[in-house]
Structure 1
Amino acid sequence: MAAGTQNRFSGAVTVFHEHRLPERATPAGYAALIDAYGLRVPWPRRLWATSERHKVYSEGGWRLLTPRHAPPATLEGHLTFALKYEGLDLAVLKRLFQAVGPAAVAALVRAKPTGRYARRIWFLYEWLLGAQLPLGDATQGNYVPVVDPALQWTGEGEASPRHRVTNNLPGTPSFCPLVSRTETLDALVGLDLAARARAVIDTVPQGVLSRTAAFLLLKDSRSSYAIEGEHPPQDRIQRWGRAIGEAGQHPLDLDELLRLQRIVIGDARFVELGLRREGGFVGARDHSMRPLPEHVSACPEHLRDLVEGMIAFDRGPAAHIDPVIAAAVLAFGLIYVHPFEDGNGRIHRYLIHHVLAERGFNPPGLVFPVSAVMLEEIDRYRAVLEDYSRRLLPVIDWRATESGNVAVLNNTADFYRFFDATPHAEFLYHCVWRTIERDLPQEAEFLRRYDAFCRRIEQLVDMPERTLDLLFRFLQQNGGRLSKRAREREFAQLSASEVASAERIYGDLFRSDTGY
């Protein structure tokens, strides 16, 4: 059946590939193209259709438009619909172009050589497949952006005279996840959190600020291990904290990633360092050691190219995207690829600090403890990670190996290069917002009150700094009261009136209604 014939596309349905529609409607755009050409790709996060009613609404993962929005039941019709309303899904587009072949795409362009959508399709075919269509250079038509900035976040524009388009894709053919514009992201970007962070620290005395920074750094390091269910010795936590504190100071390349892996792992006797040489998955095993994957990592033969694509993204396109969005794209890209046998999660979170520090988003010397927020909101964090893995898993063919691992049987590299990073960017922005609006000012205020506590106790009784801190910890752990054990042992030399005064001082500064 020739590409573009009407009987290739399905009509109105109520169930579409196990996806229930809110009402009887006709799939359109990417949904129709995936179905018509039998594409094995992760389904888009939202599917589109045109209903029989004149009502536009979203429900159950579908966006329904009116009959007047219905595209012609052709390759061009549904491609144009997708670009106009849905934005770019590069994984779908690449598999579609491979399925229909160059002749069908060239014919589409020849039919409308000056059309804005035809020229974008033409550019995307050559950019994604790295092969030219048998077409002469465009000579007419105003330049149009490849990525619609009203639908998705874009990179820096670069003219492509051959197609008379502006290439504003935020990546390269080796790595280019995309992020949709949403009300949530627009609102968070509009807060200018980098300026907010600077305003917060301007109110903090330098001595308190340096201690706040040290505490937040250690908190992030400890939380990053805790997310993985690990509780390593304090020296490893501090060593990883020092590495996080240096984020953004070293250019990102494979050697840097391997250096970070060695720091994370520490004792490498039972872990093979470097890029994986076998398959990888996240999940469990059954009683016979057969894998039960929730996520399958990229094939080992694709790792070097994918990592080089992420490095190229960091060195180029990331500099022209909002820093938090760029950090989400890079960090979650790495966690999906899972290039290492171990250490991926902590390096994934390190990359967030790398991008934010490299771009000057966070104040110098200060780390936003995003790992601590992720740990506190671990269910939401996992849901974000699973958002794509759940759609990716059905299109990966794999077999179990004798060692209880997985071996991938089909080419899946593009599914790690091109994914929708919208929920990841929204979640990371939420984490950054919380650290700036809550963690940073709360920790600084806590240290102010702690310093005031120490000064007032010193006026009451002379004791070493270490003993002062011990007194504070005992009061903190016992709701502002010195326990009988502490009064009889560590602080037996304090009089009853001194104990009462210490408890009163603590209560003045750390009453329950103050949040401390």
Structure 2
Amino acid sequence: MLVGFSALRERYAINPAQPLRVKSAIGTVRSHHESQGQVENHYPPGYQPEDDFAGHFAFGLKYEEIHLEFFARLFTAVGPEPLEAWCRQEPFGQYARRAGFLYEWLTGNTLQVPDVTNGGYIEAISSKTYLTRTTVKRVRRWRINDNLPGTVDFCPLVRRTAAVEQALTFDLNEALNDLDSAFGADILMRTASWLTFKESRASFLIEKESDQGDRIQRFAHVIAQYCGQLDDPLSDSSLHTIQQGILGQDALGLGLRRSPVFVGQSTMREDIVHYIAPHYDDVPRFMQGLKAFDLATRGAAPLARAAVIAFGFVYIHPMRDGNGRIHRFLINDTLIRDGAIPDGVILPVSATITSSMDFRVGYDRTLDVFSKRLMRRYAGCYRFGELKTYEDGTLSNFSFSDYEDARFAWRYPDLTEHVLYTCKVIEHTVRKEMADEARVLVIFQRAQQRLKEVIEMPDQDASRIIRSLKENGWQISGKLKKAFPVLDDATLSGRIVEAVRSAFETQAD
């Protein structure tokens, strides 16, 4: 027999886009089974709750997981009566109080019950189990410490699972200090410009636009100029500044969107829809909720905050163009603002994402955690019809009929898997990508030094010779001889080749 939130889901025919992760039932002995992210718990008969709304909801609050999308849909379906009856019956009960608070918070409606006047303050959700506000808000009516990390318009949740807690133990500052110790702070700072460019180029590769040389340079400039420097990076003006820097001031897709948008791919026959973004009228409220999350959780785990802010942004998809690049910009921006990485240091997270099939597939799968479930629920609710010009100038024939119902899902995404993926990417970025770049620079500097011991020349010329020799298997090309006639001297050119080659072979040993 099902109990808890699953029992209420069946009884009231609630069908959330993000399914309940935990299913509880009464059996003979207590057991726990987890497979592919789904949990089945069985409890002995002594755990059987009362077979009514209060009994099952209290059981869910006690033994299962917070699921704001499900709660919002459930409260809309049942109305205030079962909550009011429960709160009158148990006016000081902690589960009744939490349920009453959640009802009023999620619906905006006031239950016709007296204020709670007795008992200590309790958390709205467990700070040991979820990422919560760092400064709680006291709600006297329910004697509740409101520690929800967002607003009713947008409140992402992150479960503090064992895997998440382990991932968050990665000390980013310590890892960067290890690189300092191994290579020297000067080497790391000298790699900063290249890492910024590498991040920009890889970010365009993710968007399948790797041949956009001028735009790559522009985005690199945006990263260097604005990461960690904007007081309110999620404001309309800041986003416009970042977007304009990425796309260019004459681009057509500037500004917040006032048109429908989907993420997908085009084929010769049709457009394939992978994700539908919220209605443009909801974007300002959703962005205010994301900004509220940023403010409410400051001082909490920087890696988790970076993941939620970045992925929350890309799911809201507020801009006409450039959402993906801004999404990845926000990871570095959040880490710098939180003091997790020094100002001026850029983690090339996009380079890690594109560095292997595992990370690239992992990125797509992480985005799919939310988007695939949404599309499974609303697969038959969109169509391509007559072209229409929207007020932002977008010409589109896309329409979606269930914005109001889907709003429940968009408002309350579970971003636990997104935090896990982001932590994995950041750790690999520091330990592998940045370490490799530092090693390359050390070798390159050694090659320059040894080359100049043979013949003095400007750094730019030395760099060109080193790159040419490395790319041509330690042979001097005709093109290089034409650029540097001095290389026609066989004795001198032989010494140059040996000097440069020895720098690389020393590293190999």
Q: TM-score, normalised by structure 2?
A: 0.88
Residue equivalent to 1:63: 39
Partner Cα distance (1:239, 1:488) in 2: 34
Partner Cα distance (2:36, 2:367) in 1: 20
Go from structure 1 to structure 2 and tell me whether the alpha carbon gap of 1:153 and 1:512 turns closer, same or farther (over 3 Å shift).
Answer: farther
Would you say the 8 A contact 1:278–1:407 is kept in 2?
no
Question: Alignment partner of 2:128: what SS?
Answer: coil
Partner Cα distance (1:484, 1:354) in 2: 43
Superposition deviation, residue 285 in structure 1: 4.8
Q: How does 1:160-171 map to 2 (within 5 A)?
A: 160-171=139-150
Residue equivalent to 1:37: 12
Q: How does 1:91-490 map to 2 (within 5 A)?
A: 91-156=69-134, 157-201=136-180, 204-231=183-210, 233-245=212-224, 246-250=226-230, 251-252=232-233, 253-266=235-248, 268=250, 271-285=252-266, 289=270, 291-314=271-294, 316-376=295-355, 377-396=359-378, 397-403=381-387, 404-411=397-404, 412-479=406-473, 481-482=474-475, 485=478, 489=482
Go from structure 1 to structure 2 and tell me whether the alpha carbon gap of 1:511 and 1:104 turns closer, same or farther (over 3 Å shift).
Answer: farther
Q: RMSD of the alignment, in Å?
A: 2.6
Partner Cα distance (1:75, 1:509) in 2: 74
Range 351-360 or range 149-158, more displaced: 149-158
Range 336-345 or range 195-204, more displaced: 195-204
What one-letter code is carried by the residue in structure 2 that aligns with 1:92? F
Superposition deviation, residue 507 in structure 1: 4.5
Superposition deviation, residue 322 in structure 1: 1.3
Stretches of structure 2 that go unaligned for 5 or more consecutive residues are 388-396
Q: Could you give the per-residue CA deviations for residues 68-121 of structure 1, whole angstroms, max 9, x where no partner exists?
A: 255444322332233233331111111111111111111122222222222111
Would you say the 8 A contact 2:66–2:125 is kept in 1?
yes
Would you say the 8 A contact 2:448–2:500 is kept in 1?
no
Superposition deviation, residue 187 in structure 1: 1.7
Superposition deviation, residue 455 in structure 1: 0.8
Partner Cα distance (1:135, 1:405) in 2: 46
Identity score, percent: 31
Partner Cα distance (2:181, 2:147) in 1: 37
Counterpart pick for 2:59 among 81, 102, 111: 81
Partner Cα distance (2:211, 2:297) in 1: 33
Partner Cα distance (1:117, 1:303) in 2: 33
Superposition deviation, residue 487 in structure 1: 7.3
Question: Alignment partner of 1:401: what SS?
Answer: strand
Superposition deviation, residue 504 in structure 1: 4.3
What one-letter code is carried by the residue in structure 1 that aligns with 2:437? E
What one-letter code is carried by the residue in structure 2 that aligns with 1:373? T
Q: How many residues align?
A: 486
Go from structure 1 to structure 2 and tell me whether the alpha carbon gap of 1:50 and 1:468 turns closer, same or farther (over 3 Å shift).
Answer: same
Question: Alignment partner of 1:350: what SS?
Answer: helix
Range 405-414 or range 152-161, more displaced: 405-414
Would you say the 8 A contact 1:254–1:307 is kept in 2?
no
Q: TM-score, normalised by structure 1?
A: 0.86
Partner Cα distance (1:287, 1:240) in 2: 31
Residue equivalent to 1:14: none
Question: Alignment partner of 1:159: what SS?
Answer: strand
Partner Cα distance (2:194, 2:48) in 1: 57
Partner Cα distance (2:48, 2:173) in 1: 43
Would you say the 8 A contact 1:261–1:273 is kept in 2?
yes
Partner Cα distance (1:475, 1:183) in 2: 50
Partner Cα distance (2:48, 2:508) in 1: 58
Go from structure 1 to structure 2 and tell me whether the alpha carbon gap of 1:465 and 1:512 turns closer, same or farther (over 3 Å shift).
Answer: closer
Partner Cα distance (1:45, 1:109) in 2: 25
Partner Cα distance (2:462, 2:212) in 1: 26
Range 198-207 or range 326-335, more displaced: 198-207
Would you say the 8 A contact 1:198–1:363 is kept in 2?
no
Partner Cα distance (1:287, 1:470) in 2: 44
What one-letter code is carried by the residue in structure 2 that aligns with 1:306? F
Range 235-244 or range 118-127, more displaced: 235-244
Partner Cα distance (1:60, 1:354) in 2: 33
What one-letter code is carried by the residue in structure 2 that aligns with 1:346? R
Partner Cα distance (1:444, 1:122) in 2: 56
Residue equivalent to 2:393: none
Stretches of structure 1 that go unaligned for 5 or more consecutive residues are 1-10, 12-25
Would you say the 8 A contact 2:303–2:419 is kept in 1?
yes
Go from structure 1 to structure 2 and tell me whether the alpha carbon gap of 1:264 and 1:32 turns closer, same or farther (over 3 Å shift).
Answer: farther
